[in-house]
Amino acid sequence: MNVQKIREEIKQLERKIEVLQVRINEIQQACDHHFIGDAYYETCSKCNKVNVLYYYWFTTKSPRKETDMLP
């Protein structure tokens, strides 16, 4: 498999990820959420949408993993 073919496959996968992300957004927008969580973040038990509640995480610039948000 040469570089050209690998790059083409990467592009196809990126397009697929976009389609899947749109589908997730559609599901989460249609969901009547049932959030479970604590003071830091809450997760919908139906669609897995995450709301970050602790203000500090909105102000930080570097993206963090979900595990970093645990107290």
Please report, as ranges, the residues that interact with Zn ion according to CB under 5 A. 31, 33, 44, 46-47, 49
Does an H or E element contain 50, and which?
A: strand 50-52
Residue number with CB closer to Zn ion (10 or 31): 31
Q: Give the shortest CB-34-to-Zn ion separation in angstroms.
A: 7
Residue number with CB closer to Zn ion (47 or 69): 47
Q: Give the shortest CB-45-to-Zn ion separation in angstroms.
A: 8
Q: Give the shortest CB-55-to-Zn ion separation in angstroms.
A: 22
The single-letter DSSP state of residue 66 is G
Per-residue exposure over 12-35, b if at least 16 CB sit within 10 Å of its own CB, e if not: eeeeeeeeeeeeeeeeeeeeeeee
